[in-house]
Structure 1
Amino acid sequence: MAYEVLARKWRPQQFADVVGQGHVTKTLTNAIETERVAHAYMFVGSRGTGKTTSARILAKALNCQKGPTPNPCDVCDSCKEVMAGNSLDVIEIDGASNNGVDQVRDLRDNARYSPARGPYKIYIIDEVHMLSTAAFNALLKTLEEPPSHVKFIFATTDVHKVLPTILSRCQRFDLRRISVQDIVDRLRKGCDEEGISITEDALLAIARGAEGGLRDAESALDQIISFRGKEIDEDDVLAVFGLVSRHVLENLTVAILKSDVPTIINIISEMDRAGKDLQRVVMELLENFRNLLVVLYAGQGASALELPETQLAFYQEQAPATEAGRVLRIIDALVETDGRMRYALSKKTLLETGLIRCSRAAETATINELLKQVADLKKNFKSGPVASARVAETAPAYGGGDQKKKIASDSEVELLLEKWHDIIDHVGKADALAKGSLLNTAPLRTDETHLVVGYDPEFSNDLKRLEDDRAKLALARAVDRHLNRLLAVSYEALKPDDPRPLPADSPVNDLGPDNTQTLTKEQKWYANPVVKTVVDAFNGEITDIRE
């Protein structure tokens, strides 16, 4: 007896056996049970998703001697003839080779005659989009008002080429691409029936290569069995089809996220030496980062990806270490790389440069991350002594000098007293209103993370202005210029007998004839509400003014 390939041997014979198309099989089952079967159906989908299979099962269900029934018996003569493809009442037509007006005219003439055995004469036209426009038009009248015993079932991979007048006369079913997990489950079940030992990683590799087509996966498995026998592992699949191991792809994904360029270069070199399809590597990386993006946004809803548990666990492990904005930039770079590689002679070079660009995108901070860091800094600064240690740790971001942790407090206070006029003047550039209040203050003491400033009790009304977050930060930055570390600032009242001189005793700047302080150009811009909002948001300062 001639060998029957797995794709034909495992072809579903019942609606319940169809993989991944529950929305189609349930609708057809209900239609048969409620006697609401339409006269024309259009099955749309990519290759290997079950269009022709569903059409044959529907034809078998309608003409079964125990039917019409949603569960054909598969033992009556009518069912056997449909399964063997030699039924007189179920006519399968290849639309690619029977696409002319003459063939459609013959079909229309024959449709008038009653079926030979069953209750219906059923026409299954595969690749119906290949019919010519004239052939479609010749079919219109018969399709709109066919004889009661005639049913039409169309299948196509390119529904856009079908005339709208044809589509409007049919019930349309869009068959989905079959998920990786569904393909793996079906292949595992078939291998168990055939006594074939195959690893989980090998099944995943076959399912990845099938790209949603179950027939492609079954044909690939058939080829691997011929190559390797009944003991199959992932290396056998990778060797036959030039695929890249899932673990290699995961390592490459992690290297991109960590901006580990040497690892990226090494992995690409190994794949190139092994003769892997580098164009396909880009597409699989694109799928990886798309899945990671879904996990980042969907959280617990990521189960909708219908991925195996091991793959889903990998994405969930990587999600906390990255940010969605970076993943989006990586995806953009991969899409650009894929487009350029299609027409390139040296795919390896383009892949290397493209993935290096992806790694740079992965390490570049997004605006959202910068704003979050700014908000955290402001929060830490507001919390005063409790968070002063954390504020001090951030000093290199502002000052850049080494913190001198063991400088005596008295020496630092003397230095600050000496430079207090300059410090107040520097604060005035960022906050003009705080400058006047600081004229009645003086430094009292410092430690590694904190500065205590004394104020004249007579001017306690100015304390609210001094406690403002912006004023505190401006003073901390001004002090940082002299002590080389950022300190948390707090205030306390000076004792009445404190001999410490205050800057108000010898003003920093001369006052005008009307005893009012003249604002500089920078101070005027700081007073602008819009500028003040932006500077406050980023804890910045004006460095240059161009008008």
Structure 2
Amino acid sequence: MSYLVLARKWRPQTFSDLTGQEHVSRTLQNAIDSGRIAHAFLFTGARGVGKTSSARILAKALNCERGMSPEPCNECPACLEITAGTSVDVLEIDGASNTGVDDIRELRENVKYLPSRCRFKIFIIDEVHMLSTNAFNALLKTLEEPPPHVKFIFATTEPHKVPITILSRCQRFDFRRIPLAKVVARLRYIVDRENSAISDAALTVVARKGDGSMRDSLSVLDQVLAFCGENVSDDEVVALLGVVDRRLLLDGSAAVFGRDSRAALGVVAKVDEFGYNIRQFCGELIEHFRNLTILKAVGDGAELLDLSEAELALLREQVEPLALADLQRHLAILLRAEAEMAQSSFPRLVLEMALIKMATLVPVVPVDELLGRLRALESGTPSAAVVADSRVQWRPAAPAGPPAARSTVAAAPPVAPAGLAAPAAAPRAPQRPAPTETLPRTGDSWADFVAYVKAGKVRLGSLLEHGSPLQVSAERLEIGFPEGSFALGSLKENDAQAALRELARTFFKSEPALVLRSLAAGEDAAVPNLLEKKRVEDERRLNDLQQNAKAHPAIASALEVFSGELAEVAPAEKDNR
């Protein structure tokens, strides 16, 4: 007796045997129960997902000699003949071979005659989209008003090629790709009854090779059993099918996240050594990083990923400490590399350069943090490096040549150089000045007035910081600026002077005379401007920080152990938690 392949031997014979198409099974069973059976059905979906099997099961359920029921008995002569394909009343027609109008005319002639033994005469046309336009037109009238003893079941993988006039006359059922977990469960059911020893990991590789098709998965399983015998090892399955070992994908992503370029290049070398296609491996790597990104973005994304529970557990562990933005950047690099491989003669080099770039990728700085630094520069306050508990953090710098290494401290963002104006703010809509009660007073009338102006008019306040207060009182406000300075020219504009007078009147609660003086070169003001005072204070503060850091026993010990030197010190931000 000839061997029957697994795809035919284990073909579903009842609706309950259909895997992954529960929505179709339930609808057809309810239709049979209620007697609401259409005269024409259209089954669409990818290859090997159960379209033709469902058509045969429906034909058996309608013609079963024990009566129409949601499940055929598979024991009566009608069911056995339909299963064997020998029933004279259930005709399976290949649409790819019978494409002409003459074939449809012959079908129309057969429709007139009553069934020989069964309850209904059923025409199953597979790959119906292959029929010619004239053949479809010849079928229209019969399909719209067939005799009561006739049922049509069409199956196709390309429903968009079926004319809309045909689609509108059929009940359409869309068959889905079968999820990986359900394919593995079905394969486990089959191999247990075939008395074959194979692990779930190997079955997962087989199911993934089937790409959502149960028939393709069973064909691959047949090949594996023929090669390995009754006892199947995981390595043999990987070697036979030529698929990328999932461990290589995990090793590759671990090397990237660990910033280990050598290990990343080692993974590519293994891929080339095993004879895997480099571009195929890149595609698998893209899918792997896509899974990591989805897990990080949605938390528990098991329903979005075609992975087994064991694989999900490994990915969750790997993705836990990562940032979503970095994963997205890694994925973008891989997508660009995959596109370049199509036009490159050196696919291995393209992938190696992509992995090196990923392994050395500098972490992104959040936009909010950058905006905070810009605001700090604009206000003139020194930015501070984030150091926990006011302790100086350090990290060893890369050696520049000699063995003696330099140690660097976590650096703060640069502060605007002394003597230069803070960046002028973009023009804003006029704002009402804040009341003086909301601003803290320092006792320095000039500093308080500049702070008050800056709260209402940032640009004016920034310009005033360049001026030296020659006289500040409720009667007279005299400010000196270096001769020819930009700040003096800007403040002498009519709009600027009007706004400044209005703010001075509100602040001093009087009408002080506003005088803007030009200081000649060499003429010193009695009081330095605010920027100069701030620079002096910053230098003093930084000097104190450096002295304290050098005196700190932990820092001194670290510098001694690593033969380093203190490069830079920055003040720590206050923890507001």
So what's the TM-score if we normalise by structure 2? 0.68
**What's the secondary structure of 2:172's corresponding residue?**
strand
CA distance in 2, matches of 1:128, 1:228: 39
- Aligned-residue offset at 1:423: 10
Per the TM alignment, residue 85 of structure 1 is displaced from its structure 2 partner at its CA by 0.9
The equivalent of 2:550 in structure 1 is none
Spell out the pairing of 1:410-449 with structure 2 (5 A cutoff).
426=419, 429=422
CA distance in 2, matches of 1:522, 1:139: 87
Q: Aligned pair 1:238/2:231, yes or no?
A: no
In the other structure, the counterpart of 1:493 is none
Q: Distance in 1 between matches of 2:76 and 2:242?
A: 45
Q: Map residues 383-398 of structure 1 onto 2, 5 A cutoff.
A: 393=392
The 1:429/1:378 distance shift into structure 2, 3 A limit, reads closer
Structure 2 partner of 1:515 = 479
Q: String of CA shifts for 1:483-538, please: whole Å, max 9, x gaps.
A: xxxxxxxxxxxxxxxxxxxx98999xxxx995355795489999xxxxxxxxxxxx
> What is aligned with 2:117?
117
Corresponding residue number in structure 2 for 1:48: 48
Is 1:371 the counterpart of 2:371 in the alignment? no
Structure 2, unaligned runs of 5 or more = 396-405, 426-440, 459-466, 492-577
Name the CA distance, whole Å, in 1 between partners of 2:488 and 2:246: 60
For residues 337 and 424 of structure 1, what CA distance do their matches in structure 2 show? 42
1:54-93: CA deviations, max 9, x gaps? 1111111111112321111000111101111111111111
Task: Report the 3-state secondary structure (helix = DSSP H, G, I; strand = E; otherwise coil) of the residue aligned with 2:320.
Answer: helix
Find the counterpart in structure 1 of residue 175 from structure 2.
175
| Equivalent residue number for residue 273 of structure 1 | 273
Q: Give the CA deviation at 1:466.
A: 12
Q: Describe the superposition over 1:158-188 as per-residue Cα deviations: whole angstroms up to 9, x where unpaired.
A: 1221111111111111111111111111111
Change (3 A) 1:286 1:429: closer
Instruction: Give the Cα separation in 2 of the matches to 1:99 and 1:45.
Output: 21
One-letter amino acid matched to 1:90: V
In structure 2, relative to structure 1, the CA distance for the partners of 1:117 and 1:243 (3 Å cut) is same
Whole-angstrom distance in 1 between the partners of 2:409 and 2:275:
55
Structure 1 residues 274 and 32: CA distance shift in structure 2, 3 A = same
Is 1:82–2:82 an aligned residue pair?
yes
In the superposition, the TM-score normalised over structure 1's length comes to 0.71
SS of the counterpart of 2:43?
strand
Structure 2 residue aligned with 1:199: 199
Distance 1:259 1:423 in 2: 34
CA contact (8 A) 1:93 1:124 kept: yes
| Paired residue type of 1:193 | R
Q: Which moved more, 1:168-177 or 1:272-281?
A: 272-281
Structure 1 or 2: more helix by fraction: 1
The 3-state SS of whatever aligns with 1:41 is strand
- 1:322 counterpart = 2:319: no
Separation in structure 2 between the aligned mates of residue 431 and residue 343 of structure 1, nearest angstrom: 48
Q: Structure 1 residues 431, 271: CA separation in 2 closer, same or farther (over 3 Å shift)? A: closer
- Name the SS for the 2:479 alignment partner: coil
Residue identity matched to 2:123:
Y
Q: 1:58 to 1:366 in 2, by over 3 A?
A: farther
SS at match of 2:220: helix
Q: Give 1:333 deviation, angstroms.
A: 3.5
Equivalent residues in 2 for 1:405-484 (5 A)? 426=419, 429=422, 456=443
Tell me the distance in 2 between the aligned counterparts of 1:216 and 1:233. 20
Identity %: 41
Q: Are the structure 2 counterparts of residues 520 and 182 from structure 1 closer, same or farther at C-alpha, using a change threshold of 3 Å?
A: farther
Q: Secondary structure at the match of 2:212?
A: coil
In 2, Cα distance between the equivalents of 1:152 and 1:17? 23
Q: 1:402, CA displacement in angstroms?
A: 6.0
Q: Deviations over 1:181-230 (max 9, x none)?
A: 11111111111111111112111111121111111111111111111111
Distance 1:151 1:524 in 2: 92
Alpha-carbon deviations, 1:124-160, whole Å to 9, x = none?
1111111111111111111111111111111111122
Q: CA deviation at 1:8?
A: 0.8
How far apart are residue 322 of structure 1 and its match?
2.9
Q: Quick check: 1:377–1:391 contact (8 Å CA) kept in 2?
A: no
How does 1:336-351 map onto structure 2 within 5 Å?
336-342=336-342, 344-351=344-351
CA 1:378–1:58: 2 relative to 1, 3 Å: farther
- Paired amino acid for 1:38: A
Report the alpha carbon displacement of residue 11 of structure 1 after superposing the two structures with TM: 0.8
Structure 1 residue 324, shift from structure 2 partner: 3.1
Amino acid of the structure 1 residue aligned with 2:46: S
Distance 1:119 1:158 in 2: 31
Distance in 2 between residues matched to 1:457 and 1:339, nearest whole Å = 64
Q: Indicate the larger mover: 36-45 or 273-282.
A: 273-282
* Contact 1:429-1:522 within 8 A present in 2 as well: no
Partner of residue 494, structure 2:
none
C-alpha root-mean-square deviation of aligned residues, in Å? Answer: 4.2
1:99 aligns to what SS in structure 2?
coil
1: CA distance between counterparts of 2:114 and 2:43?
Answer: 25
* Structure 1 runs not aligned, ≥5 long: 405-421, 433-453, 472-502, 527-547
User: Does the 8 Å CA contact 2:238/2:244 hold for their aligned counterparts?
Assistant: yes
State the partner residue of 2:32. Answer: 32
The one-letter amino acid paired with 1:291 is N
Q: What is the rounded CA distance, in whole Å, between the counterparts of 1:193 and 1:423 in structure 2?
A: 77
Q: Does the residue aligned with 2:272 lie in a helix, a strand or coil?
A: helix
Distance change >3 Å, CA 90–CA 256, structure 1 → 2? farther
**1:20 aligned onto 2:20:** yes
Q: CA deviation at 1:255?
A: 2.4
Render the CA deviation track for 1:217-250: whole Å, top value 9, x for unaligned: 1111111111111111211111111112111111
Name the SS for the 1:72 alignment partner: coil
Aligned to 1:211: 211
Q: Is 1:287 aligned with 2:276?
A: no
C-alpha distance in 2 between matches for 1:165 and 1:297: 44
